Amino acid sequence: MSIEVVEIEAMANKVLWKNNMDPSALIARLNSIRSQKNEQVTYHAFEFTELKETLFSFINFPNGICSVDARGFLQHALYKPTQNGKLNADSIIDAVAHKNSNFIKKKPKAYSILTSLSYRGKPPFSWVKIGKTKIVFSPSGKKLNFLIAGRPNDIEERLNRLGLPNQSTGYPWVILELSARSPHEAFEQGIGDFDILRGLLNLAFNRLTSMQISTDNRQPFNKLRLGKAHTLHDEKGDSVSDNFWYEPEFVSLFPLKDLSKDRHALRLNVESARKRLAKSGLANDASVALQRYVNALDKPDWAVSFRELWAVAEFLTNTQKSTYDVTIRRMAAMYGDHDLSLAICKHLRERRNHLIHVEPNDDNAETLMMQGKRYVELLLNFYISNPFNLKSREEVGKFLDLPKTEKDLKNMGKLVDAAKHFRGF
């Protein structure tokens, strides 16, 4: 499940134009196709949708606002009548900020998401709280019956028209319970929290497999994957709309992963990670990385999985805006044999760039995925355990930049001591 996250660069609860991004050309074009009459606003060209989406990229939205709601704020601003009938940068940002302010003040409502997971046997939890979401495994009783009854009746027919398998997957139901200010926020938050848990559970299994050679290139690597459709319900159990969310790249898993024999170890693993993250300055970044990791390995195309894993490695090494040399140097620092690791990371960089800029497929994509997976899993475990109590991705990057030999570290320590003495500390 790919979840779109609004880029956060603004102060909390502030809506601002992004630095070094001037919207004036876009606003001028919008005004040229805009009409306002009797407080009614219309746009007279098909390019409005394209212009609106481009303008969306110019705005910083505050943390915690989902992308669908944020786009709704901008839509409102563009259709809001103005005094002279024309848009300007101030009128747009003020209208968006007003909608955002009202949204933040909204009282959350109770929602439930009915979804499913590819496992069999006894799960590690009857329920567990991750983030803001209570995740209930193998639910039964009246609530489950109400939610099933509240689903749109034609889901299977509509999934079939979308080209998704119409046979039963046999996946057990899972209910996600939470409160949110809008249906879209509820879905993104609930599935996002579930992805954090799936990330921890899949990580426990995935890191046991360092090599794989398959004949079926349609199976995603993860064993614990979402079912093909998800429905959102209000506190009475009714579906919030006739629509539903679905997995466009769904591939049915058979046989299902039996969790019974591993349930106690999985429970301890998840509880240990939760306790560590609760005290860690890296908790938010680790949670985002777990979501991106599990989404990458949900993909049936291994080349796509590898490209997305590379992006996770860039995130965890804090090098999204750095050169690839910095990325591979920090990735290589995770292994004791630094020279060999550096050579592997250079190879991964070359193949990633080839996939992006030359050819989107690779006959050895499975090998690339497995190699990328190993580095991301080492970084994830480092973030989750946080053995040196680092406070941010910036600190992680600086830590990984430290010299790799004892001699060089001692020399750096002497220089640091000298600098402290020189500055009178």
Q: Which one of 217, 243, 278 terminates a domain?
A: 278
Asked whether the CA dihedral 209, 210, 212, 216 is positive or negative, the reply is positive
pLDDT at 366: 93
One domain for residues 231 and 215? yes
Whether residue 383 is contained in a domain is answered as: yes
Q: What angle do CA 269, 273, 278 make, to 5 degrees?
A: 150
Containing structural domain, residue 27:
16-105
Domain shared by 268 and 391, yes or no: no
Residues 346 and 395 in one domain: yes
Specify the pLDDT at position 9.
39
Do 114 and 255 lie in one domain? The reply is: yes
Its pTM stands at 0.91
Based on the domain organization, do 260 and 118 belong to the same domain?
yes
- Residue 412's pLDDT is 92
131 and 263 in a single domain? The answer is: yes
Name the domain boundary from 278, 306, 336.
278
161/230 same-domain check:
yes
Phi then psi dihedrals of residue 230, to 5 deg: -135, 140
119 and 198 assigned to the same domain? yes
C-alpha 312: how far from chain center: 10
Is 8 within a domain?
no
Instruction: Count structural domains, the chain.
Output: 3
- As given in the structure block, the two tokens for residue 266 are 């999985």
CA separation for the pair 180, 229 (Å, rounded): 21
* Whole-number pLDDT of residue 216: 62
Q: Is residue 207 part of a domain?
A: yes
Whether residue 265 is found in the same domain as residue 124: yes
Cα dihedral 10/13/14/20 (nearest 10): 20
What are the Cα distances from residue 174, in Å, to 200, 266, 271, 339? 17, 17, 19, 46
Same domain, 90 and 128: no
For residues 182 and 175, give the distance between their C-alpha atoms in angstroms, rounded to a whole number.
Answer: 18
Q: For residue 27, is it within any domain?
A: yes
* Structure confidence at residue 312 (pLDDT): 98
85: DSSP letter: S
- Are 187 and 202 contained in the same domain? yes
pLDDT value of position 45: 86
Domain contains 417: no
Q: Tokens in use for 233?
A: 């319900």
> Does 237 fall in a domain?
yes
Q: Which amino acid is at 29?
A: R
Last-in-domain residue among 52, 72, 105: 105
Q: Give yes or no: residues 85 and 113 share one domain.
A: no
Residue 425's pLDDT is 87
- Picking from 290, 411, 394, the residue whose alpha carbon sits closest to that of residue 1 is 290
Task: Going from the first residue of the chain to its last (425 residues), give the mean pLDDT of each consecutive group of 10, the final group possibly shorter.
Answer: 43 80 97 94 94 97 91 97 94 96 95 96 96 94 89 86 73 96 96 98 91 76 94 93 90 91 94 94 96 97 96 96 90 90 95 91 91 97 96 96 91 92 89
